[in-house]
Amino acid sequence: MTEPAARPPVAEDPSWVDLIWVQFGKRKIARGALFGLLGLLLLAIYAPLLASNKPLLWRVADGPLSSPWLLSLFDRNFFENGVDLFFNALLVCVSLLGLPAAWAWRRAATLPRAARGARRARLLLGGIGALLLTLGLNAAAPQARPKEVYPALQAQLEAQGTPVLAVYPPLPHSFRDGVLDQARARPSAAHPLGTDAAGRDVLVRLIFGARISLTIGVFAVSLYISIGTVLGALAGYFGGRVDLVIQRLIEVVICVPSLFLILSVAAFIEDRSIFHIMVIIAAVAWTTPARLVRAEFLRHRNLDFVAAARAIGYPQHTIIFAEILPNTLGPVLVSATFGVASAILTESTMSFLGLGDITVPSWGQMLNAGRTTSEWTLILAPGFAIFVTVSLLNLVGDGFRDAIDPKLRR
Amino acid sequence: MPLLELIDLRTHFFTDAGVLRSVDGVSFSVEAGETVGVVGESGCGKSVTAMSILRLIPEPPGRIVGGEIRFLGQDLVRMPIAALRKVRGNSISMIFQEPMTSLNPVYTVGDQIIEAILLHQDVDEDRAREIALDMLRKVGIPAPEQRIDEYPHQLSGGMKQRVMIAMALSCQPKLLIADEPTTALDVTIQAQILELLKQLQAEQGMGIMLITHDLGVVAETTDKVVVLYGGQMAEVAPTSTLFSSASHPYTQGLLRSLPDRAPPGSRLPTIPGMVPSPLQFPTGCRFRTRCGQASPACAALPPRVERGPGHAVWCHHPQPPAGGAA
């Protein structure tokens, strides 16, 4: 029983997550796609910095220097949609805390494993807390800013001979308010992809559409993964009558063609917001994770560690959700990646068929609008955006699926 | 009052094919500080007996249909599940056969031991970690400060079994149920683990119920032996008595089939036939279809026959001591 004491401290074996990460990194295409997705996310977060008709800096004659752009980020009259307000809060938090947080995250790598996990969990919680705080402050702040149309105001002031300092983002157009006399403009330097029938810049709406698509994808998938995981876990763990009921429920849902179900449910909701759409998508898609998790539970529930957990005296919910569930999540997360892609496609389909949320610049909405015009950019641009996003997500999903498969280890 | 007393325990499984009477009238007791070996062939009900004690039988299909399990005077069979959870892992701990699968692969071994301690003891996390480190040191894990933050897949089978033992003993249980703790390990590690259990028993004074099919292990480590056949009692005796004067034909057959008891060069004697399927157990004495001494009387349930102090046999035709054994 005498073994050489203390191994060298550097020889820490990689954890399962580290292994997956290394394996994923060896797949060049998947890694590239992940960077692409990261780029898309940054594009969505920093969309107002690229495109806004509010000047970043504004000064009339010798008046005070102000930033209407910064104020507009929290203007609930301008950004009417919850999605945009959320991303704007994200923009503020990422800009202020992003770099220090990334630095702290990397630095945590030098800590021993237990402390590292705790440190990173605290960082994550802190980030979420900061985001919620920003959103809360925004909700509490008074909203009484006049809606100025700055480019028009600037032209008017300059015509009067008043010098104006105005710095606009690269695309000085609103994603929401069109300029009617510029409707259906051909692509030009001012409007790289032209404008739509309401005179709104297509490229700007495309950029803001990334926010809608990513939100739909991530939220709808989180929602249905949660539902599916809980139901699948209960079915797999308890078996018997619980399993019977949940299985029949799954069968009822999957035997109706999902697109028809989605469309008919959507048709009954007046004033559909994108939150309705997420819920509808989740309501038909939860069966996939439910079946995956059920199968994984059937595989794990008879293993000794589950009996050991019961023998230690853990209550049933701890055994289901803290002991078995983490073991079943690998395949679920892979299917979630594909799920995000398919949720984006579903939303586009709904919007294209006119059953989406007409108040948001979604890509499917733009496709539908473009269909009625003869302008090819109006169809090709959103189509290309959908294609790229869905492809990136599928490539990343493929990469993760291969990375967690020990038979494909490189 | 014995630490643990099983009185006529019956655990049956209700399947589509019929009722499996896996445990059908098992009675024995374990005293504090005593090691009781439970032996028998595969399928004789050893593990089901062990699982029944903490009510870990999957229900359905299984159910304890009769008998009592008295632990410090309380009947575990009729105890509410919430109260039973306070017994599990606290005053009765269990070690399983497969160290490879008895630890949760997604948590570090430290987390698993610490969680178990926090569940049953009123201590904070730092103190729990100290106790966990202490236990790992006690079970002979080298560099415990480092091992405590490792995942189960980074440990060898023997190490994992040591971790299991550390976890099982971290709350100072009064009774340890070890279900074939060394079967999956190689021989040198087996010896170390058994030695470790003995040593920890001496320190903590707990009772051990050791389930095994290895008579060598029984001879070396137990004070008392319970022989099960087909879910029923065959014989119970102090270990030395059992090896010198077994009286049940089945026990005698088991002992005869030990390699070191057969003359060199001869064929090893075996017990003829197979353990019948639990669906087709014969009435009366379940061993009678394979027994050389069977008579028509054996169709009735065998009586309990006292053979000496602490030595009883359930048989219509108890054999004289050393019947055929060397």
Residues of A in contact with B104 (CB under 8 A): 305, 309, 323, 327
HSE, CB side, 13 Å, CA atoms: give it for residue B81.
7
For chain A, say whether B85 makes contact (Cβ under 8 Å): yes
For chain B, say whether A333 makes contact (Cβ under 8 Å): no
Measured in angstroms, the CA of A6 and the nearest CA of chain B are apart by 5
Q: B110 and A3: CB-CB below 8 Å?
A: no
Q: B94 and A309: CB-CB below 8 Å?
A: no
pLDDT tens-digit profile, chain B (326 residues): 788 888 888 888 888 888 888 888 888 889 888 999 999 887 788 888 988 988 888 877 888 888 889 888 888 888 888 888 888 888 899 988 887 888 888 888 888 999 889 988 888 888 999 999 988 988 888 888 888 888 888 888 888 888 988 888 888 888 999 888 887 777 887 888 888 888 888 888 889 999 988 888 888 889 999 998 888 888 998 988 888 888 888 888 888 888 877 778 888 888 888 878 878 888 888 888 888 887 888 888 888 888 888 888 888 888 887 544 43
For chain B, say whether A304 makes contact (Cβ under 8 Å): yes
In this structure, which amino acid lies at residue B229? Y
Q: What is the DSSP string of A171-229?
A: B---SS---GGGTTPPS-SSSTT-B-TTS-BHHHHHHHHHHHHHHHHHHHHHHHHHHHH
Residues of A in contact with B151 (CB under 8 A): 13, 15-16
Domains in chain A, CATH or no CATH each? 53-182 (no CATH), 202-408 (1.10.3720.10)
Using CB atoms, which residue from B86, B96, B150 is nearest to A304?
Answer: B96
Measured in angstroms, the CA of A404 and the nearest CA of chain B are apart by 14
Q: Using the 8-state DSSP alphabet, how is residue B78 labeled?
A: T
pLDDT value, residue A31: 92
Measured in angstroms, the CA of A19 and the nearest CA of chain B are apart by 13
For chain A, say whether B146 makes contact (Cβ under 8 Å): yes
B227's CB contacts (< 8 A; 6+ apart) are B39, B40, B233, B234, B235, B236, B242, B248, B250, B251, B254
Measured in angstroms, the CA of B140 and the nearest CA of chain A are apart by 7
Across the strands, what pairs with B229? B232
In this structure, which amino acid lies at residue B75? D
Largest distance between two CA atoms of chain A: 93
pLDDT value, residue B325: 40
Show which of residues 25-44 on chain B sit within 8 Å of chain A, judged by CB atoms. none
pLDDT value, residue B296: 84
Q: A7 and B143: CB-CB below 8 Å?
A: yes
Mean residue pLDDT across chain A: 85
> Which residue is it, tokens 């010896």?
B191
Give pLDDT < 70 ranges for chain A.
1-15, 113-114, 142-147, 406, 409-410
pLDDT value, residue B298: 83
Q: B94 and A311: CB-CB below 8 Å?
A: yes
For chain B, say whether A321 makes contact (Cβ under 8 Å): no
pLDDT value, residue B322: 55
- Calculate Rg over the CA atoms of chain B: 21
pLDDT value, residue A10: 44
CA B35/CA B3 separation, integer angstroms: 12
| Residue pairs between chains A and B whose CB atoms are closer than 8 Å | 82
Residues of A in contact with B97 (CB under 8 A): 304
ipTM over 0.90: no
A318's CB contacts (< 8 A; 6+ apart) are A309
pLDDT value, residue A9: 46
What would the two tokens of residue A354 be?
A: 């006119």
A106 CB neighbour count, 10 Å cutoff? 9
Most B-contacting residue of A119, A299, A305 (CB-CB within 10 A), to test interface? A305
Across the strands, what pairs with B210? B37, B178
Residues of B in contact with A111 (CB under 8 A): none
Residues of B in contact with A114 (CB under 8 A): 108, 110, 149
Measured in angstroms, the CA of A112 and the nearest CA of chain B are apart by 8
Residues of B in contact with A307 (CB under 8 A): 51, 56, 96, 102
A297's CB contacts (< 8 A; 6+ apart) are A232, A233, A235, A236, A237, A324, A328
Most B-contacting residue of A10, A15, A304 (CB-CB within 10 A), to test interface? A304
> Which residue is it, tokens 């036939």?
B273
Residues of A in contact with B143 (CB under 8 A): 5-7
For chain B, say whether A299 makes contact (Cβ under 8 Å): no
Q: Cβ(A31)–Cβ(A399) under 8 Å?
A: yes
For chain B, say whether A10 makes contact (Cβ under 8 Å): no
CB-neighbour burial class of residue A273 (10 A; exposed 0-12, middle 13-18, buried 19+): middle
Measured in angstroms, the CA of B149 and the nearest CA of chain A are apart by 6
Q: Cβ(A56)–Cβ(A67) under 8 Å?
A: yes
> Which residue is it, tokens 């209550």?
A315
